[in-house]
Amino acid sequence: MRALFIIVLTSLLTVACSQPGRVKPDTASHHYLPPVGTKVELKRSVTVPPGRTRVFLQEGEITAGFDQYAPNCNFEIRTLSEQPQVISPEDFLVVKVQRLTEEVVELVKPIQVAGLGLAGMASDAGQSMIVRGVHLWFGSDTQPDVMRLTCRGGFDEPWRADLPSIDEMRIALGDYARIVLP
């Protein structure tokens, strides 16, 4: 009888310990991306300028020029037009999540040898700066031209550049949109 009790107890403990726990997402972490099934609730209309396919948001404001060293987001549409295009409020379902890395290389100017005007030790391999980000691809039946939301961290040295956290994405979007995790 005691052996049966030990077998049953061991079985119950094994099953209990093997159940996957529900871990609360850390929205401040640069390592946690919004998963497929996330909703991006666009609360206010945004207008894509003529001749563009994106509208940028940073610190809760729509901006034509933004600080590339700080987190930012943009809504992107598929069709280029010479007329302004309005993205209307809607709950967009995220159907695909894709990381991105963009690199900008600053070219190094040749070193001038003092007093001689001679160029020496020129190099075309300059300082590399990158930005990491995430594309949140949408699946919308009512606005199929609205392709995705892209959010980026700030440009930085490759070893220091981070993905934007969900909290930073939310700050960039302000009251225009809300990210709702599943």
pLDDT in tens, 125-137: 556 899 999 999 9
The answer to whether residue 115 scores a pLDDT higher than 80 is no
What percent helix, strand, coil does the chain show, rounded to 5? 15, 40, 45
The answer to whether residue 159 scores a pLDDT higher than 50 is yes
For residue 64, which phi and psi values (nearest 5 degrees)? Answer: -85, -40
pTM of this prediction? Answer: 0.76
Using CA atoms, how far residue 132 sits from 31, 69, 90, 98, 127, in Å, is 11, 11, 27, 11, 17
Q: Which residue has the higher pLDDT, 92 or 1?
A: 92
* Cβ pair 149, 38 in contact under 8 A: no
Residue with tokens 């994106």: 54
The answer to whether residue 12 scores a pLDDT higher than 70 is no
C-alpha 168, offset from chain centre:
9
Q: Which residue has the higher pLDDT, 112 or 12?
A: 112
pLDDT band of 29, cuts 50, 70, 90: very high
State residue 20's pLDDT score: 44
- The vertex-122 CA angle with 119 and 124, nearest 5°, equals 145
The answer to whether residue 18 scores a pLDDT higher than 80 is no
pLDDT tens readout for residues 62-80: 998 889 999 999 999 999 9
State residue 63's pLDDT score: 94
Cβ-in-10-Å burial (0-12, 13-18, 19+) of 166 comes to buried
State residue 65's pLDDT score: 84
Q: Which residue has the higher pLDDT, 46 or 24?
A: 46
- The vertex-119 CA angle with 115 and 121, nearest 5°, equals 125
Overall average pLDDT of the 98-110 stretch? 74
Overall average pLDDT of the 33-59 stretch? 97
Percent of the chain exceeding pLDDT 90 equals: 66
Overall average pLDDT of the 138-159 stretch? 95
